[in-house]
Structure formats: C-alpha cells, structure tokens
Amino acid sequence: MTRALFEPLRLAALNLANRIVVSPMCQYSANDGVASDWHMTHLGMLANSGAGMLVVESTHVARSGRITHGCLGLYSDACEAALARIVAHCRRIGSAKLAIQLSHAGRKASSQRPWEGGKALPAAEDPWPTIDPSAIPFGLGWHTPRAMNEDDMARVVTLFVEAAKRALRIGFDAVELHMAHGYLLHGFTSPVSNTRNDQWGGSLEGRLRFPLEVARAVRAVVPSGTPLGARFTGSDWMEGGLTGNDAVVIAKALKEAGLDYVDVSSGGVSLEAQGKLPTSAGYNVPIAERVRREAQIPTRTVGLIVSPKQAEAIVAEGRADMVALARAFLDDPHWAWHAATALGGEVAHPPQYARAGPALWPGAAMRR
C-alpha cells in the first residue's frame, strides 16, 4: 500500500523524495560562527537518515545576531567556506535535500549554551548588546535590548539578503527564514515583544511589516525555482500573544510575499511562557491544519511527532504536507529507515549499510 509519508513532494522546482524533514537544531558547536567537525559528523549522518529534507540549524546573519558564542553564522567568508565544505560532504555521501534556516536572535542573543546555563551571558562571559523591536527583556535577568530604529532595520534586511546569497553560492537547495521561538522576526510579529506605536508595531499588519520586508527582500534574490520558506510561531501560548487566528493571517501574508511553504511551530516569545508549551503529541498539528486549509500553502508541522504511525496519519489525513522531527532524529538518526520498515515504505539507504535493511537482515524484523 502507498504510504502518504513516503510520497514525493515538489516545492517550487525542488523534488523531495518524501515528507519527512529533519528539523533545524542548534548544535552550539561553531567557532565564531564557523562550522566545525561536529557539524560535519552531525549533518553528514542526518543527510543519510532517509529524510527527504535536512534543515541546517539556525544560522545567524550577523555575529551579534547569534544566540550563543557557539552558534552557527553565515556572515563571513570563513563561515561560508566551512559550510560549503559540509554541504559538499553531505551531497557526496547522503541523499537528503539541504535547506538552511537563516535567523537573527534579537533579544535572545548573547546567551549561554543550554548546557552552560542557557541564561543571558554575564559580564564575565563576553556578552554583547542586543536589539529587538522594543526595549523589553526576554525575562527577568535578561539583557534589555535596544529598540531598533529604521537604520537598524535596513541593515538587518541587508544582512538577511547577504546571508541568503551566501547560502545560494554554497548550493543549498532551499532557504528558510526563522520567524519563530522569540527570535528577531518573531519578536516583531508578537504583541508580547513588539509594543511599538509606529508603523512597525500596533496591529498585526504593522507588526508583520518588518518580517515581510525581510521576506520580500530575500525572495528577490532567491530564484523562483528554489524554495523559500519560513518557520513561524503559530501560538505564543500566552495571554495577549499570537493565536491560531493570527497564524492564518501570517501564513497568508507570507504566501503573498512569494514564499513557497511555511512551517508551523509555536512558543518561545517570553520566559514567562516557557513552562506553558504543550507536551501532548503533535501539539502544533491543529494550528498547521488550519493554516494549510485556510491559507492554501504547503505546510510543515513540528512538535512531539514521534512515531511513524503518528507521522503517517498527519500527512495522510491532510493535516500537513510535511512533518519535521527534531528530538526523534537525535534519538534515532535512522528514524526514517525504521519508519519505512514499520509502515512498508521506502527511503534511500546508503549501500554500505544495505545489509542492515529488512531485505538482507532477519534481525530488522526482530528489533521491533
């Protein structure tokens, strides 16, 4: 029987072999923005996971736009050269199409790696000034960002465009804008972090003005055959924050700006909301389903998608066109191989590992 999860999907002129996507995951393992051997191993492995698309972690368009000292960047020739080596490696040895997530961390920049505390960098750890739409810290004890002026905005648009050009030179198959999880572009969209009363704030239309300016400027340099998408927060899970109704408006606006797909995630806008993220299976799926139906744009969803059956049902029932998995791929980098075995689908296997496949290894059936 054909399984929806293993059906190909075309985004702009790019063909994905299936609907399984490795979600972007910060590794906090870059040196001054430059990818390291860790990325070579991590991305090389996931390029061979059987997923149709692998999205490279949040990659920052400016040094000062990084979340931590270890975050990946694409703002210098050294950043570009290191990522180019890794992309070439993934192409030689793997099968996933390669996307990159471009971001600016806004008021969540200048913080510690999660395993070093995950808080704002203290004075002894080389912090740097941060920017956001309004001068409101992410939470108690966080840096107060400087409210951006129009020169800052013009500079950030240029930074996104320059990083997108570098990504295209490297040969990425798709480019994705990070408009989620409380980082700068989400910071503008959410009324929790954007309290401006000029044309860049106020109504949702005003709050979306700057993210859409970035989207249109990046679209202008990304050829129409190359998918340009965005991950956005569909709910702030917070009183007075973004809701599912806003998610539909955001998706429609991104479609209008020429984007080829959206990824509906949620949360991240404020420390206050941190414990409020749902922990139920597929918690973003209902919002993604609405977005897909009402905005009529190819939609990916993410968040506690864990089992092959669950992933298959989301796609088969038309609730999303693609599913992204993050922690399930860290837990099992061969998740898509095992999903194919469980559901009776097929994904690419490197020939070196063919003897561990169900056709050649009776043990494949015993491990379930």
Ligand X SMILES: Cc1cc2nc3c(=O)[nH]c(=O)nc-3n(C[C@H](O)[C@H](O)[C@H](O)COP(=O)(O)O)c2cc1C
**No. of H helices and E strands in the chain?**
11, 12
Helix (H) or strand (E) holding 322: strand 322-325
Q: Which amino acid is at 66?
A: R
By CB under 6 A, name the one of 9, 57, 90, 194 that touches ligand X: 57
Ramachandran angles phi, psi of 342, nearest 5°: -65, -35
Smallest separation (angstroms) from ligand X to the CB of 368 = 21
Q: Which stretch binds ligand X (CB under 6 A): 24-32, 211-219, 254-262, 309-317?
A: 24-32
Tokens 């955001």: give the residue. 250
Residues 209-228: x/- map of binding to ligand X (CB under 6 A)?
--------------------
Q: Which is nearer to ligand X, 19 or 200 (CB)?
A: 19
Q: What is the dihedral of CA 137, 145, 132, 76, to 10 degrees?
A: -130
Q: Which stretch binds ligand X (CB under 6 A): 19-27, 42-50, 166-174, 254-262?
A: 19-27
By CB under 6 A, name the one of 53, 167, 174, 305 that touches ligand X: 305
Smallest separation (angstroms) from ligand X to the CB of 18 = 17
Q: Which of residues 141-180 bind ligand X (CB under 6 A)?
A: 178, 180
Q: Which is nearer to ligand X, 19 or 231 (CB)?
A: 231
Residue 33's nearest CA partner among 124, 115, 119, 128 is 128
Q: At what angle do helices 204-221 and 150-170 cross, to 10 degrees?
A: 40
DSSP state at residue 34: B
- Residue 120 Cα distances to 53, 141, 144, 297, angstroms: 33, 7, 10, 37
Spatial distance between the Cα atoms of 303 and 345, rounded to a whole number of angstroms: 23
Asked if residue 304 binds ligand X (CB under 6 A), the reply is yes
Q: Which is nearer to ligand X, 58 or 95 (CB)?
A: 58
Smallest separation (angstroms) from ligand X to the CB of 126 = 22
Antiparallel, parallel or unpaired: β 14-16 and 9-11: antiparallel
Q: Which stretch binds ligand X (CB under 6 A): 209-217, 239-247, 299-307, 334-342?
A: 299-307
* 338 contact partners, CB below 8 Å, separation of at least 6: 308, 332
Residues 101-130: x/- map of binding to ligand X (CB under 6 A)?
x-----------------------------
Q: Which is nearer to ligand X, 58 or 200 (CB)?
A: 58
Q: Which is nearer to ligand X, 111 or 200 (CB)?
A: 111
Residue 353 catalytic? Answer: no
Smallest separation (angstroms) from ligand X to the CB of 183 = 8
By CB under 6 A, name the one of 111, 112, 193, 265 that touches ligand X: 265
Tokens 């992204």: give the residue. 324
Q: Buried b / exposed e across 11-40, counting CB within 10 Å, b at 16+? A: bbebebbbbbbbbbbbbbbbeebbbbeebe
By CB under 6 A, name the one of 25, 135, 147, 204 that touches ligand X: 25
Number of residues that bind ligand X (CB under 6 A): 20
Asked if residue 231 binds ligand X (CB under 6 A), the reply is yes
Spatial distance between the Cα atoms of 276 and 104, rounded to a whole number of angstroms: 24
Q: Which of 183, 261, 283, 353 is catalytic?
A: 183
Asked if residue 21 binds ligand X (CB under 6 A), the reply is no
Q: Which is nearer to ligand X, 32 or 331 (CB)?
A: 331
By CB under 6 A, name the one of 17, 26, 159, 314 that touches ligand X: 26
- Tokens for 32? 């001054």
232 CB neighbour count, 10 Å cutoff: 27
Residues 319-338: x/- map of binding to ligand X (CB under 6 A)?
------xxxx----------
Tokens 């490279």: give the residue. 56
DSSP state at residue 148: P
Tell me which residues touch ligand X (CB under 6 A): 23-26, 57-58, 101, 178, 180-181, 231, 265, 302-305, 325-328
Q: Which residues are catalytic?
A: 183
